[in-house]
Amino acid sequence: MQSSRRLLIPLLQIETFEQNPSTSSLPITAPPPRFGRTSNPTSSRASPALIAPFPRRPLDTDVVISAVEQALIPAKAESLPEPIRVDTPPIQPNPEMAQISGPEVLRAINDLATNQAALQQIVQDVVTSMNNNKGVSKPHNYNGVGSKDARRFLAAFEVWAQGVPNLRSLTGNEPVKSAISFLEGDAAIWATPIAENISAHTSNNNVPLTYPNWADFRAAFVARFETADPVTDAKSMLKALYQGKNSVASYAATFKQYSDRTGYSDVDLRDKFYDHLTDRVKDSLVHSNANTASLANLIAEATRIDNRINERVRQKMPFKAVTPATHHFQPINAPFVAHRDPNAMDVDATCTVTNKSSDDYRRFMTGRCYGCGSKNHRKADGHHERDV
């Protein structure tokens, strides 16, 4: 018995066909055959496997090709301004440069390298000088007055010059030119011929320098502004130097200023320092167990004892406590006003003025005694009853 086949058409496709009859020309494909379990017979809805997908319309190839062509056509480039043409003249060769040979070029390169190394050294020296002289100030100008200030100026200048690259060695004429720039007053007048000589030597090397190095200038400066016999002066200063009311530290500092120039031995200087100490320090040194055989040890121990004595004096001073006053406040510098006597008479000082001058008094006393006012005699004659 031959079985008949049934064609199942999805309901959705039938509805679409009824609504759009113009699409009836599209081919309708049969759904795939059913396998396995079927839908429930009691349900009016077809099985999901029997529902065909919604048919898609074919694409218009002409429209697609037109869109692709429009996307591939490049946009029209914007018009750019034409570049400006500048006619540059050709480089003309320098005939002098053409005559330079290879060794001369090599020599110029070597000179450039040498100058660059020298420039780097100068920069390094300047940086080193700035770092070294941060804590050293320039010496104060010297006006030529006082041998002490002259010695102090030389010491300060040499310390400062050691931090300057071109003055560090204190040789040659550069320190001399720098030193005379710090002189003023009588010292500047003395250094004027030296400055003129340096200027003439700079213009003409055949002119010899008066002081070609620092040692010669220093010797001339010392001979002019310091004492003629510094040893004798130092001995005289130590002989007249005493501690007095000063502290031991101050006395020792002044003592050291002159002790190095006396030529005395350490033992002699120690004895002279001890002799001019105050009695209270000497008395305390007797009870000290420190070794004071040398000048340095004596100064250290005497300074310690003097500081301790001064500290004890401050501790023994009575402490004055300030207590608040119970009465009303009065200014400290208020003038003193005595209490008024209740029995005193009220006298107006404005009524005591007689408005009489000295001429009026002399006219009144003409022919009278200046002692008692009598007209019978004069004070020069004496014999008046009342001696005023």
Tens of pLDDT, residue by residue over 50-64, are 445 555 555 555 655
Which whole-number Å values give the CA distances from 55 to 11, 22, 31, in the listed order?
13, 14, 12
In this predicted structure, the answer to whether residue 384 has a pLDDT above a threshold of 80 is no
pLDDT value of position 388: 42
In this predicted structure, the answer to whether residue 115 has a pLDDT above a threshold of 70 is yes
In this predicted structure, the answer to whether residue 180 has a pLDDT above a threshold of 80 is yes
For the segment 370-375, the average pLDDT, to the nearest whole number, is 74
- Strands, E assignment, the chain: none
pLDDT value of position 341: 57
Which whole-number Å values give the CA distances from 215 to 4, 147, 172, 174, 343, in the listed order?
142, 19, 9, 12, 91
pLDDT value of position 169: 79
Say which residue, 4 or 105, is predicted with more confidence: 105
Find the range with the poorest average confidence among 87-96, 148-157, 326-335: 326-335
pLDDT digits 0-9 by tens, 12-61: 555 554 555 554 444 555 555 555 455 455 555 555 544 455 555 555 55
Query: How many Å apart are CA 30 and CA 46, to the nearest integer?
Result: 15
pLDDT value of position 365: 79
Name every residue whose Cβ is closer than 8 Å to that of residue 167 and which is 6 or more positions away in sequence.
161, 174, 175, 178
pLDDT band at 280; cut points 50, 70, 90:
very high
For the segment 273-287, the average pLDDT, to the nearest whole number, is 93
pLDDT value of position 72: 54
Residue among 108, 199, 198, 122 at smallest CA distance from 165: 122
Q: What percent of the chain has pLDDT over 90?
A: 25
Q: What percent of the chain has pLDDT over 70?
A: 60
**How many other CB atoms sit within 10 Å of the CB of residue 374?**
14
In this predicted structure, the answer to whether residue 294 has a pLDDT above a threshold of 80 is yes
Mean residue pLDDT across the chain: 74
Query: How is residue 223 written in tokens?
Result: 């001979």
**Cβ–Cβ under 8 Å, residues 357 and 372:** no
In this predicted structure, the answer to whether residue 345 has a pLDDT above a threshold of 90 is no
Say which residue, 296 or 19, is predicted with more confidence: 296
pLDDT digits 0-9 by tens, 235-271: 888 999 999 999 999 999 999 988 988 889 999 999 9
For the segment 316-325, the average pLDDT, to the nearest whole number, is 63
**Cβ–Cβ under 8 Å, residues 274 and 288:** no
pLDDT value of position 165: 77
Largest CA distance in the chain: 206
In this predicted structure, the answer to whether residue 179 has a pLDDT above a threshold of 70 is yes
Say which residue, 44 or 154, is predicted with more confidence: 154
pLDDT value of position 105: 79
Q: How far is C-alpha 131 from the geometric centre of its chain's CA atoms?
A: 13
Write down the pTM of the prediction: 0.40
Say which residue, 5 or 301, is predicted with more confidence: 301
In this predicted structure, the answer to whether residue 10 has a pLDDT above a threshold of 70 is no
In this predicted structure, the answer to whether residue 350 has a pLDDT above a threshold of 50 is no
Query: How many Å apart are CA 381 and CA 369, to the nearest integer?
Result: 9
**Cβ–Cβ under 8 Å, residues 187 and 225:** yes
Find the range with the poorest average confidence among 81-85, 139-143, 274-278: 81-85
Residue among 114, 159, 113, 115 at smallest CA distance from 137: 159
Assign 183 to helix, strand or coil.
strand
pLDDT value of position 321: 53
pLDDT band at 387; cut points 50, 70, 90:
very low
